[in-house]
Copies of this chain bind each other. A is one copy, B any other.
Amino acid sequence: MLTKSSSLMRLVGELKKLPGVGERTALRLAFHLLKSPGNLTALSEALVDVKEKVRACSTCFAITENDPCAICSGNRDAAAVCVVENSQDLMSLERSNAWHGVYHVLEGAISPLSGIGPSSIRIAELLARVEAGGVSEVVIATNFTVEGEATALYLTKVLKPTGVKVTRLAHGIPLGSDIEFVDAATVQWALQGRNEL
């Protein structure tokens, strides 16, 4: 019988640390892996691989295997910098195929309640990039949450004096949504930002 100290229980314990995984799910995943030793080995190797290879790009701080990352070293418009909170947001923007500039990953957002101030995230590095010259526009693509908006406000304040053009992702009604069910604030933004057809 497996005791609490056994390797399987240790694996269950590690799986339980993952977001959204409880005791039952962890046990189910562990037994699933136990039944397919190939997958178990592959997962273990993939984890080691990620730990060894994945790092942050020294220019934009996006996660990458090669430094500078494929975007920074690629054929992109380095004069336009899109500022995002994390690499997941970067991936979402990349999926849209609508951005041809480069990025800057803040690795967080200003959140005084959580003790995250401007110095805790990579704002100084962004300022240094802008002050080094060659950047004509900074698009702020932080989330439309309290923290994201606070970060956008702070960024505008510190970037404006450098003379760079600072823009923000448009507010509006998401594609495919019913105006009836869109919140009032979003409708207000959509009306204020209406475009001529």
Interface residues of A (CB under 8 A from B): 1-3, 6-8, 10-11, 13-15, 17-20, 24-25, 27-34, 36-37, 39-44, 46-54, 62-65, 69-71, 74, 86-88, 90-91, 94, 181
Other-chain contact of A51, B40, B52, B64, B74 (Cβ < 8 Å): B40
Contact status B54-A39, CB under 8 Å: no
Offer 11 A-B interface pairs, CB within 8 angstroms, sorted by A.
A1-B74, A6-B53, A6-B65, A7-B49, A8-B54, A11-B47, A14-B39, A19-B29, A27-B91, A31-B86, A34-B50
Q: Which chain B positions have C-beta within 8 A of A29?
A: 18-19
- Besides A1-B91, A40-B51, 16 new A-B residue pairs in contact (Cβ under 8 A), listed by A number: A1-B70, A2-B70, A7-B46, A7-B50, A8-B50, A8-B63, A10-B49, A11-B47, A14-B43, A18-B32, A27-B88, A31-B86, A31-B88, A34-B63, A41-B47, A41-B51
Q: Which chain B positions have C-beta within 8 A of A20?
A: 25, 28
Interface of A is mostly: helix
The answer to whether residues A65 and B7 also contact, given A1-B94, A41-B51, A47-B40 and a CB cut-off of 8 A, is yes
Contact status B41-A44, CB under 8 Å: no
Q: How far is the CA of A91 from the CA of B30 in the complex (A)?
A: 13
Q: How far is the CA of A129 from the CA of B7 in the complex (A)?
A: 28
Q: Which chain B positions have C-beta within 8 A of A17?
A: 36, 39, 43
